[in-house]
Structure 1
Amino acid sequence: MFDTVQLRARFIDLDSHYLNQHNPKSFTSYNSSTGELRTTYKVYDELLPYITYYDGSHMLDVQVSIPKLLFGNNVQQVTETDIPVFFDRLQERLEQLFCVKIPHSSWTVIRCDVSWNFQVGNEVPKYVRLLSKQKFAFKSTITYNQDQTVEYRNKSSRIIFYDKEAQLTKMKEPDYIIEQSRGLLRLEIKPSTNDMKKFSPTRLAVELIGKPFFEYMTGKVLGEIEYPTEFDELDLSWLLENRVNIAQIERMLGFQRLQEMFDEQTLRKIYTSSTYANRKTEAKKMTIPRGNCLSPLTISQ
């Protein structure tokens, strides 16, 4: 349901004695208007890798992968019942590190990555090719490493689908982790601040890190995906009825087969810009009976 989150708690008093026990990277600045010295501490912890404390504003930021904290990897998915455990584990670890107990309700969300693993077997490349042809409103579509990653992004938010096994193999993760990721198409959504505020005006962590927000964000994304069907067997009677257009039918069959095999970025390298635009226009106008489409991506918990 969720992966990396960045949380913030205000009005937190951390004793510099406890901070300095963890070999922080610190930076001190002088505030000329107040005459105060303000220090920022950055602490690395094996369980909570990114901890930043601003002693001038008494503000604490923590960034952590929820599944990595709970399970040691982000292949195993977080479920609804794991979320209270996460908040408890976060509270316990900060108490161990800094002798401070922060209520769950004190946290607000700066970043909240929504995620899901779709088990699609050996069809991961097919789904990535399909998704590379999709358009999301107000977002640019970018593909990386053919048949492995497609991203939709703007300045404030991102949606990414990628081959989880390929990613972990490249990162040289342990074999048993790679094996668990086989056949997984990974979805990650990085909501904008506006997305979060629509759901929780104050961006409270206890409101955003939960099943309702997960369903809200994934529903918006999955609802926009279109599933064009693929050719199976052409009906002979339809071909006989349209035999005067057989040359156009042959051309469209070839073009649409290339669309199934390659992403748009690759096809634009093959065709001239005018020919590619003409083929796309022609494909939209011609209706050829088709079947055998990829199954829609759905979430079941």
Structure 2
Amino acid sequence: MFDTIKVGIKVTLSRQEIDLIQWTQTNSSCNSKKNSSKTIFKKIHDSSKKGSPFIRYTYKEDDPNSYWLKVEVSIPTFLYGSNVYELKNKDIPKFFKKLRKYIAEQLQLQVVRIPDAHGWTVEKLHVCKNFQVGSNVEHYLKVMSNATISKYKINLYCAKGSNTVETVEWKASKRKEKLYNKEAEVQQGKDYPNKDIHQKVSSGILRYEIELSDDEIRMLCPKRSAIEVVKIDNAIKILQRGLNRNGLSDGIKYTSLMEVINRINNTPSLKISMKEALVSFATEIHLFGVTTCRAKYAESTFRKRRKLLRTTIGTKELLIGDVKLPSLNVAKIQKKIVPVLVEQRTIIGNKS
């Protein structure tokens, strides 16, 4: 239910303590115009260990008491070596305890010097859900690659060297949602211990993930306390709202090619020549996909025939096939299958 989290923690280090820590990176900057003190940036991250948290300590050179300690980590990867696994309620306190101990060890402090999770401020949080949909992963992504969300920009990422969509991303100024093929993501990742096991677990998983805005986090808890924000019930509510909005909670129904042809032939207002043209158009979409079909026709012709075909079959989407995709829900809701309103868009990027 949760993946990446970034928290701010109140920990003050003396100059001596700062010097004793084995930092992996140190940078600095200063604002010459304001003639201000230099800001020092210290980082600890073990790149050789998957799931290793990023610990960043920032302070003013002439005032170590002016500081920021930020820790960013994937919760399931930190606990289990991969974010393929969904967290359960019992994992949350386990994570807080383990991370607190880890921070203390890295900063060479006693654990009591590190506040517990009640005092951690959440600055970033990803909520997510794995849906086991088997061979239907590509079908869901194909449909949702055409779904728009108001005020969000849609980005599509494809398998290298193909038009197979592996990730659909909706991005706003302060918030992001994405739906993606989890097995493909694990497969493309660098080699790490037990990767083959994690890849088998990820087979058939469609991952839905939301990066919360700061306003959403504050709605969960005005003070953004980690102990109040990171609750499974919070994740369920947020994810279900997203599924309701994008239509996945209702399920997806395609129209069979035979049904499309029958509707075209039984429409008396269409001339025979136009019926033949629409049957050919629908067949090409079914066999080769909208992107290939679009490239074959002049843009004005493509739009006119697409609009006429939609009107003829009585739908706002062109989902032609024999597939029925079940509804996806996090909360317990009665399942049903109804059409999702989508609009065809051109694939705009490849995932490297």
Q: For 1:39 and 1:148, how far apart are their aligned partners in 2?
A: 40
1:132 to partner: Cα distance: 0.4
1:78–1:142 CA distance, 2 compared to 1 (3 A): same
Q: Structure 1 residues 7, 267: closer, same or farther in 2, change over 3 A?
A: farther
Could you tell me which of 153, 166, 191 is aligned with 1:140? 153
Question: What's 2:144 paired with?
Answer: 131
Q: Which one is further off, 188-197 or 134-143?
A: 188-197
Separation in 1, partners of 2:219, 2:182 = 30
1:160 aligns with 2:178: yes
Cα distance change, pair 260–166 in 1 and its aligned pair in 2 (3 A): farther
Deviates more, 1:33-42 or 1:172-181: 33-42
* 1:186-225 correspondence runs (5 A): 186-225=207-246
Residues in 1 aligned to 2:286 and 2:14: alpha-carbon distance in whole angstroms = 59
Are residues 39 and 147 of structure 1, via their aligned partners in 2, closer, same or farther at CA, if it must alter by over 3 Å? closer
Q: Give the SS at the match of 1:224.
A: helix
* TM-score of the superposed pair, with normalisation by structure 2: 0.73
Q: 1:126, 1:151 → 2: CA distance?
A: 16
Q: Please, what TM-score do these two structures have when normalized by structure 1? A: 0.84
Question: Which residue in 1 is equivalent to 2:259?
Answer: 234
Give the corresponding residue for 1:22: 22
Distance across 2 between alignment mates of 1:39 and 1:68: 29
- Structure 1 residues 1-301: aligned runs within 5 Å: 1-10=1-10, 12-19=11-18, 20-28=20-28, 38-45=39-46, 46=49, 48-56=52-60, 57-98=66-107, 99=109, 100-145=113-158, 146-173=164-191, 174-226=195-247, 227-232=251-256, 234=259, 242=267, 245=270, 255=281, 268-287=294-313, 293-299=324-330
SS at 1:223 equivalent: helix
CA distance, structure 1, for counterparts of residue 9 and residue 259 of structure 2 = 62
Identical pairs, percent? 25
List runs of 5+ in structure 1 lacking aligned partners. none
Change (3 A) 1:253 1:53: farther
In structure 2, runs of 5+ residues without a counterpart are: 61-65, 159-163, 333-352
2:345 corresponds to? none
Secondary structure in structure 1 of the residue aligned to 2:179: strand
Amino acid paired to 2:42: Y
Q: How many residues align?
A: 300
